[in-house]
Structure 1
Amino acid sequence: MSVEDPAAPELPRAPRYGSRSVAEVMGSAAAALGVPGFRNALSLPSAQRYVVVLVDGLGSRLLRETASYAPTLRAAQSLGELDAAFPTTTSVSLSCLGTGATPGRHGMLGYDVVDPASDRVVNMLGNWPSDVDPLAWQPEPTVLDRAAQHVDAVTVSSPRFESSALTRAVLRGGRFVGAHGVYARTARTLEQLREGRRGLVYFYWDELDKTGHKAGWRSDDWLRSLEDLDSALKRLVTKLPANTRVILTADHGMVDVAPEHRVDYSAVPELMAGVRLTAGEPRAVQLHTDADTDPEELESRWRAHYGDAVWVATKQHLAAHGYFGPEPDQGLLERAGDVWVLAREDIALYDVSRQGTRPLAMVGQHGSLTDRERYVPALVW
């Protein structure tokens, strides 16, 4: 934040990387299995088999408000809230989970990220350009790849993710078991838990997030999706073989944004002046400045326009205060915007000139540092 503006709303603290974040989940499970080279930061109980369930979009504050619809989740042992990665979006948090590294070390810095080598925007979840190698883009080893040298490491997910760039970048290693539908995936997860051998199973659940984006987390559709999740988890945890544990977490939470609060900032000339490229997501906008623009001057312009509805900070401020983790790789940080605009109120900011109007239909949103977006559960059975 600019020190010249003491009236600006204070930016929430950085994620607790190394102790209480999603980056510690998979590594803690590996350590609890006895895999060498990992630290059990979450003090998980020892076991022969661990299932790590990642429920996309299940923020702990959302779960707290809807717990009556999820008795299985409600009955689990809670290890307290964890922090999602910054920004609070799938590509970043899954990268932290999959590598155990911070954003400043794995370099997955948003939904849309600028590739400095080509000066273009690359979507981290979508179709990566053919000349961007996932193994070169993300330099850290993965937990699954390291664990597979000692235990049976398995990913259970939708078949469409098996060869995705994101999977190859941050979740490579071990075996991939694809299954369509939540109950089929639950059954396939149970099949991987063979008694007599140590195993680490990563189980990805994306249905809740998809429903939230389409209808909002306060919708009946979202509650039905939560009930489906709870039912499948009941089936999973009641059929576990002996000496097998499950830990469930999420990559981010969500807020609902009304249509009138989904705003096209690209239509405001004073906000776009000096901006070379835009990236990020609607609640965590990244602005890449041209050579003649001072990031702090651009920061002041955006703050003056949106006031207390947003937090605005330069990349230098965020890096210095730990939002990308300690000792971020300066080369990887070239991918990050020079100025970040983080939604404080329930708004979403779009560059329609780049993205078009289709994303404006999205109800559930995330990426910023509000409590509903940043806090995720850590539940153990």
Structure 2
Amino acid sequence: MLPTQSPYGLRLAEVLPTCLSAIGVGQHPQRFGTASIAVVIVVDGLGFANLKRRSGYGRFLWGSRHERIETVAPSTTGAALTTLTTGTLPGQHGLIGYRIREPKSDRLVTTLSEWDGIDPVREWQRSATAFEAAAQAGVASAVIGRQKHAATGLTAAILTGAEYVPADSLAERFSAAESVVQRGQHKLVYVYVDELDREAHASGWESDAWAQKLELLDGEVRRFVAGLPGSVGVVLTADHGIIDVPQSQHLLYDEDPSLMEGIAEVGGEPRFRYLYLDASGDADAVAATWQAAFGQKVLAVTRDAAVASGLFGEVTEDVLPRMGDVIVVAQNEVALYSAGESDRVSRGMVGQHGGLSKQELGVPLIRFGAFA
């Protein structure tokens, strides 16, 4: 069954508004206290359960003031980072999955990279950013990330209002953050770390390689925090957790032609699929067919049922057509793939996310300095 509780992601959505209030911008409750500068470290793919299980490689992080919060549904980077930087849930900001329909062109696009032809970007991503709110209050922000991310569509959509400071290696990003804080001109500083997510997809979060990346991050955060003035507040969080799925657990949905009847396109991602129906498709019937075919390995529901449950928060009318008519959520440690050439490369991915398991949804919220 779908959850009937509050929407996922509410605590994640509060992180940047809380940081803004800590530096005197806005009226959000000051749950972190006050600070001269607020630093937000976003670690892509560092789930709470992942950190807990590998805490021997993240001793400083795990030993600091931490708690578990939950990310958005689906638990995927585009949706979660947009919630984090705008303070709104996917049903409002519109980046409601990994691969979703762009209604103007009636094509499926990947929210992380396929932004060509989307104009204006800020109609596709519908919410103002925390950095724009800071700028309106006369407060400067800085975003520190890889050079290759500086001019992407997603950066334009979710980081507008901040100065982008490029730095490629992990050490260079934290060195850049230290320099920005020392200069004192930017009161909100956002640092993006993607090494753990990349390694999880390639090798899995239970691999030695992933643990080594965590150990490097732990050391960089420890050194960074140790060098900060006591008035600077730092919070570290993530966009989603990771679950490893072996290829033996891949469900190849199009091997049975009957499962594709009434379906025009399949979007989303392997653990949270959107099924876009053609004129002959009936959402209730398709959902029932997929549920019967895969049993307890998936949860198949109509878009209407998912929206009514509050899974995405309030969903606006112009966001609805971006979603599939049927949503299929992977349960346990499985992933839904095409048997065809389109998914040949992605089937080599070990670490996965997007689903609604506790491991994918749970992310850490760790506080340092003035926020500890």
Specify if TM > 0.5. yes
- For 2:364, the aligned partner's letter is P
Residue 18 of structure 1 and its aligned partner are, at CA, apart by 7.5
1:59 maps to 47
Task: Summarize the alignment of residues 360-379 of structure 1 with structure 2, pairs less than 5 Å apart.
Answer: 360-379=347-366
SS of residue paired to 1:360: helix
Q: How does 1:82-97 map to 2 (within 5 A)?
A: 82-97=69-84
Q: Percent identity?
A: 36
> 1:176/1:141 Cα in 2 relative to 1: closer, same or farther (>3 Å)?
same
Q: Does 1:40 align with 2:29?
A: yes
Partners of 1:353 and 1:114 lie apart in 2 by 21
Aligned residue in 2 for 1:24: 14
Separation of aligned partners in 2, 1:106 and 1:330: 12
Indicate the larger mover: 349-358 or 69-78. Answer: 349-358
Q: Structure 1 164/31 Cα, relative in aligned 2: closer, same or farther at 3 Å?
A: same
TM-score (norm 1): 0.92
- 2:220 aligned partner: 232
Give the drift of 1:17.
5.3
TM-score between both structures, scaled by the size of structure 2: 0.95
1:217 aligns with 2:205: yes
For the Cα contact (< 8 Å) 1:33–1:47, is it kept in 2? yes
Decide which of 329, 340, 354 is 1:342's aligned counterpart.
329
Determine which of 128, 131, 135 is the counterpart of 1:144. Answer: 131
Q: How does 1:126-137 map to 2 (within 5 A)?
A: 126-137=113-124
CA–CA separation in structure 2 for the residues paired with 1:239 and 1:164: 32
Q: How does 1:177-326 map to 2 (within 5 A)?
A: 177-194=165-182, 199-326=187-314
Q: Which residue of 2 aligns with 1:7?
A: none
CA positional deviation for 1:50 = 0.7
In structure 1, runs of 5+ residues without a counterpart are 1-9
2:2 to 1, 11, 14: 11
Aligned mates of 1:221, 1:288 — CA distance in 2: 37
Change (3 A) 1:76 1:92: same
Distance 2:10 2:348 in 1: 37
Alignment partner of 1:35: what SS? Answer: coil
1:75 shift after superposition: 2.0
RMSD: 1.7
Question: Gaps (5+ residues) in structure 2?
Answer: none
* CA offsets 1:41-81 (integer angstroms, 9 cap, x no match): 7x111111111011000000111111121111012112x21
In the alignment, is the contact (CA less than 8 A) between 2:237 and 2:365 conserved in 1? yes
Matched residue count? 367
Deviations 1:243-277 (A, max 9, x none): 10110110000110111112321222121110011
- In the aligned structure 2, how far is the partner of 1:130 from the partner of 1:187? 36
Kept in 2, the 8 Å contact 1:186–1:232? The answer is yes
Counterpart position of 2:111: 124
Is this contact kept in 2: 1:278–1:351, CA < 8 A?
no
Alpha-carbon separation, structure 1, partners of 2:332 and 2:307? 23
Once the two structures are TM-superposed, the CA of residue 322 in structure 1 deviates from its matched residue by 1.0
Q: How far did 1:174 drift?
A: 1.8
